Structure 1
């Protein structure tokens, strides 16, 4: 039996143990993937795992690891030497002529995965530059290895100590310059083949996940997955829930049954991209979830995960609670290995089989999507697919063998439709991903033959007559004119409306919403009114939404944060002008349950300078298309929405608004570039921030004061790793009291480091309990 090598990867872990553990975890992870992926990538993935830290065998690194006074330097760095090993070992693999990518590209993928596993991916054309200085440093490192110890590591990894020795390493280094040079021309001429990008990300993801998990997770048994019989979960939940006997509930049930009935037919079609296009309020969330659960069970040999993604943080808790209720109603504990919620503010908590994990382990498990059902945001999902970031790509491999529900897909910026279609179609085929597009306003991302309809959408849109939409667009209105139009009782239409109806006013900017809110209170003495915007703390917003659902308020003034997904219902919705898909989503907050006829009014609001508020927020092309569709219409019935939406998206497609720069960066493997004239993958942004912001903690109550005290105690912890772990454990509570404001306002709050802080003693100077942060003299005409 071989003795330990006495070489270490981490202070408490032998190098050979770490490399074997990582390769075994990679084997575990890849065993859950489709058979084609296992066949093509298992061997190279294992090689990557076994070789990724071989460069730590140098005395330089061992001294750095054991002596805290030694700083990291070029000699003690280990990734390049490890990458050379991965590159050469992966050349020895016999690849099929019918591989996913050309066989000679696999060693390049291995090289990149290992070289960058402690950082983010960069422009590949930069990564394959091999300078004389690099060569000399690698040779210095080779001379600085204790080969007696190194041979023990190699024999434990490969069974033969001579698999890698000093002579072999020197030979690899001497040949590397000419070998890597052969890739340069090829990289320059890569063209419209996304497969190499996906393979690199997949291998990189496997290594990152296995590497981080071995360092932090104490028991790898946590990765053992549960076999769940999910088919009847939603049916059981529905049978225990009381629904009113109404026309709208009959339509909901018909849509549900039609979708479920079509599953077997859809599987037989061999298509994996599905469309669930139904009007708002018809129960798309339940339908999509049940469809996915039944699909999961019918394809149980694949053991598919379900990834439910949506664009809005405000809806995640709402839908997470629904899913948790469904699971619990079936007598199953909603433990973290079954259901997790993941976004940048989510609680770092993981519990399995009554065992609650420490924060550092919980963080690895949650951020690695170690659950059967993951509820997450578009930001998390799409930055996993299109990113150069180590942290984002780590969970990429978990998308393989999954069912991805994309709720409110219309919120994806038009310019990204093309690259989104390409990536979703490719991962669907290559990684066995089933995709469900769930929306009331389906954009033309996929052609008619690419996405299979789950239900007959035309039937359901034609069937409904819950609301009428009135475009009041013949002239613009000021906020004062808007208030007079709806609340001046000398106007004949208003006396009945004011007495009997509930209202939702949706504005495009926070400043216009605030101004209108105070106008109603001061001029018309409106009572039972509340206000919603991101100027309020998340804790306060959630509280108000809960009160709205209980019917406490007669009138709500809000920004677009209630536009889609938030389950609230009003008799009258008034919406400042916006693109048609936003208008349709706003209409979904009106008469959702079809009790009485609802009215939606669209108005063109202008500021004091006569500029449309909509122009501050939306693309002028989308606004013009919408204006042309609506301008001559007096009243639009709900049954007409589908045709109008189709017209709208066809017009958008004809305008050719696609931005192909991200596609080109992906094809060229330009993950991040020092050349600012070239767009790189790192430039992909779902949300464009037009102005710099600062985060501000607002001490609105005693709970907030307690959280702030705990935060300051954590800041004083000297050990940065312990400090981060402690903060992660309270992060969700902390950010419940954090708002984001522009950094160019006069009323800037006191700063504590890089964070604004509004203490209880100065609250009234900076924060209004009704409308949130108090802005003064904003210096730019943005969305304020």
Structure 2
């Protein structure tokens, strides 16, 4: 990292104890280093050298507006004075920095033979836009071309406040690092005078973006914005970017790990090994960008996908000279820990020191823990490293991944550049809602092509996000489905029934285990209370149970201790539980298939999945949760069959997805694609923006409630209250992030409309241990209806 000669310092500061030129130069170097080590060769018409020069300009200019006397005064003011100064328009530095960067980029690229004038204008605007918003979220590109007369007045006032001698020293230092224009108060005033006129033609041009139907401008904008804000945050906390040292990891370590397991010789295990060998026998074709591992539930997709990703990673490293990261993504937190632990055991058994720079778990409740070479980082440093995906293998949620790909938010877009030069494993990909299939196809297609990445779909029910011919299948999927006969699906949909009728008529045999998957928490609670009279070894599972207890119950189910379990859909994807007979309230066919994956997984006996249609006094429970069109398609397919054997699942699910494409509209995808094309990041009342993408669409608003269920929870709550009293916002957030995972272990999300609403304490709904009975049942969780608390 270059160290500026302090004797020639401008004596302007970016942060307390940090010279402005040091920060600008270091950020430029970190951003350039990140793009240099990326395998991106070009995005659209802009090759890597052009993009690197652009991000260098962004780094060198992004905080120049801090040179004003207003900002310098704010930086060293007392806390009380800072509160007053922070709200002043003159203290802000983004727009002034953006104006300088616009003309710095023009000076950089003018005369570049490979670029047309319109392309130079576009690159200059990207510098302007990303710097203007580098402390906030991206908004509509059309709005960002606007600079008001009031803005101009403030900019002039800011420039006149700058110490000319200090600015001259700053400018000279930046010129030695490649800035091609001199920054003086005179030149800045000239740029401010010109900026409105220079942006006007761009506004007209940007209005035509939607017609071009091109995703490349979106990728370029996000790439540059991501590189800049990641470098900025990293430099402030760490001073420099951590050096990446990718290790060679042979895919055969998965084989080696499997030899340490006690794997019995059964038909299922033989099929697992056969599928594993078939996938690994395929030599990856680096020209193929989208792969698929489509295998029945329980055939070892987790280990198989990891081994294939490592094999692909090594071939890319050997042939292309760069080593991609592996990003393994799943839909639910409940299986992130499970699969990450499996990966850790594989690496540890192979002799790797499994530090966080090798294997990282990242989700909204991740611990602030980062370790590298026996060095354990401070919490603020760990936060930067974790949220920047500084690791070789990242295990994360669909929400983290897809909201990095499609977002306007600063926090999530920061890691967008990590999607380049990566192998993205999408496990349980059927969880992506149909309304986003077209959007995912178009954005992923351009991402892998332009940013040199690969995607592997891992699923038991491969949805038609891409057409079959667009995906390289790694297994003869039909062979494995036809070889299995573990489960039969028995539809009983001649009419509807109430939960009470189901509980009354079901015959619980002592030598069998039963899983009831219901569509709503209310119906599940009713079923549990009724079935409890028939079995002592019964367990209940829903999101109204605190996560700590949920995990305990899942582990009990895995161990075989539980003979009867009543749950909501949260067990359907990837949770390795196994029951002889499954009752499933009507759901879309892919959900029913997932339910079948919890039945007789190891093929001991013939398993049964009985599909019923439960109703309350008003309507079917399924209609509260699922799309009517999906239920109609499923109902018609199930009505044709009295009994569906596992070997027929593949054909039926393929027909289901084809019918979905024919009957369901892709309006939401098209609207969001339109926003992507025209770089409309935020929505208005009239039009959809990129920020309208919500992978999980909560139909009903929810509130979080802390349940003080035991002494451990009491200690966590007391720590939370202490943290809430910390006045410094940054320190308060940092300290809470250190207890966040444990805190949310005792938290449930309930409908905001719930009658039985606990009191708010320290900004959070709170049930203390003395009022537990009023709000929380230790067996079934939060009580949505209850008594009025008196305390």
Is the TM value for this pair above 0.5? yes
Report whether the alignment pairs 1:672 with 2:679.
no
Aligned partner of 2:131 in structure 1 is 114
1:88-132 CA deviation, whole Å, 9 max, x = no partner? 111233456489x94431111111110000111111111111221
5 Å matches for 1:145-544?
A: 145-159=162-176, 163-191=182-210, 192-218=213-239, 220=240, 222-264=242-284, 266-267=285-286, 270-300=287-317, 301-487=321-507, 498-522=509-533, 524=534, 526-544=535-553
Aligned counterparts of 1:654 and 1:272: Cα–Cα separation in 2: 27
What is the number of residues matched between the two proteins? 761
Cα distance between partner residues in 2 of 1:465 and 1:155: 75
1:66 aligned to 67, 76, 82, which one?
76
Paired with 1:593 and 1:156, the residues of 2 have a C-alpha distance of: 68
Q: TM-score, normalised by structure 2?
A: 0.94
- 1:82 pairs, out of 87, 97, 110, with 97
Unaligned 5+ residue runs, structure 2?
Answer: 43-47
Q: Distance in 1 between matches of 2:376 and 2:460?
A: 39
1:664 to partner: Cα distance: 1.0
Q: Is the 8 A contact 1:341 1:375 kept in 2?
A: yes
Query: 1:297 Cα deviation (Å)?
Result: 1.3
Distance 2:623 2:707 in 1: 31
Deviation at 1:536, TM superposition (A): 0.4
- Contact 2:775-2:786 at 8 Å conserved across structures: no
Match of 1:24?
29
The corresponding residue for 2:620 is: 612
Structure 1, residues 238-292: CA drift from partner, whole Å, max 9, x if none? 122221101111111111111111133x33xx11100111111111111111100
Evaluate the alpha carbon distance shift between residue 515 and residue 162 of structure 1 in structure 2; reply closer, same or farther with a 3 A threshold: closer
Structure-to-structure mapping, 1:88-107, within 5 angstroms: 88-94=103-109, 97=114, 102-107=119-124
Query: Contact 1:151–1:161 at 8 Å: present in 2 too?
Result: no
How far did 1:40 drift? 3.5
Cα distance in 2 for partners of 1:221, 1:39 equals 20
Deviation at 1:76, TM superposition (A): 1.5
> Does the 8 Å contact 2:40/2:420 carry over to 1?
no
CA displacement, residues 127-172 of structure 1 (integer Å, 9 cap, x when unaligned): 1112212222212222111121111112112228962222322222
* Aligned counterparts of 1:508 and 1:161: Cα–Cα separation in 2: 63
Quote how far apart the aligned CAs of 1:229 are: 2.6
Match of residue 8, structure 2, among 3, 28, 32: 3
Secondary structure of 1:689's match? coil
The answer on whether the counterparts of 2:107 and 2:180 sit within 8 Å (CA) in structure 1 is no
Unaligned stretches of 5+ in structure 1?
Answer: 488-496, 779-784
1:479 Cα deviation from its structure 2 partner:
0.8
- Whole-Å separation in 2 of the counterparts to 1:414 and 1:40: 38
Instruction: Give a deviation string over 1:631-663, Cα, whole Å, max 9, x none.
Output: 121000101111111111111111242121111
Equivalent residue for 2:711, pick from 702, 716, 719 = 702
CA contact (8 A) 2:121 2:202 kept: no
Shift of 1:14: 0.5
Residue number in structure 2 paired with 1:33: 38
Kindly state the Cα deviation for residue 224 of structure 1 after the two structures are TM-superposed.
2.9
Aligned twin of 2:649:
641
- Counterpart CA distance in 2 for 1:221 and 1:772 is 45
Q: Secondary structure at the match of 2:463?
A: coil
Per-residue displacement from partner, 1:468-488 (whole Å, max 9, x unpaired)?
Answer: 11011111111121113322x
Correspondence for 1:711 among 712, 716, 720: 720
Cα RMSD (Å): 1.7
Q: Distance in 1 between matches of 2:276 and 2:392?
A: 23
Cα contact 1:271–1:452 (8 A) shared by 2:
yes
SS of residue paired to 2:637: helix
Paired residue for 1:493?
none
* Distance of 1:45 and 1:107 partners within structure 2: 11
- The structural deviation recorded for 1:775 is 1.6
Quote how far apart the aligned CAs of 1:452 are: 0.7
Question: TM-score, normalised on structure 1?
Answer: 0.95
